[in-house]
Amino acid sequence: MPIAGPAISSAILGQFAARKFTGRNAIDIASAVGSAVANYIILPNLVSCTLSGTAGPVGSITSIAAVGLEPTAMSGLMTSKALSKKLTGRDASGLFSAISMGLFQVMSTMFLTGSSIGCAVGAGIGKFTAVSAPALSKLILAQLTLKKIIGRDAINLADCIAFGLVTQLKSSVTISVVVVGAPAPVPPVGPILVAGIPSVFTKIS
Contact 73, 63 (CB under 8 A): no
Look at residue 22 and give its three-state secondary structure: coil
Contact 59, 199 (CB under 8 A): no
Ramachandran category for residue 114: left, alpha or beta (phi over 0 → left; psi -120 to 50 → alpha): left
Residue ranges of alpha helices (H) inside the chain are 5-18, 24-41, 71-84, 92-107, 133-146, 152-172
Q: What is the pLDDT along the chain (205 residues), one digit of tens a residue?
A: 578 999 999 999 999 999 988 877 899 999 999 999 999 999 999 998 888 888 888 889 999 889 999 999 999 999 999 999 887 766 888 999 999 999 999 999 999 998 888 888 889 999 999 999 999 999 999 999 999 998 888 999 999 999 999 999 999 999 999 999 887 654 555 555 544 444 567 788 7
Pairing of strands 174-181, 112-127: antiparallel
Give the largest Cα separation in the chain, rounded: 66
Give the residue extent of every domain in the chain: 5-204
Q: How many residues does the structure list for the chain? A: 205
pTM: 0.89
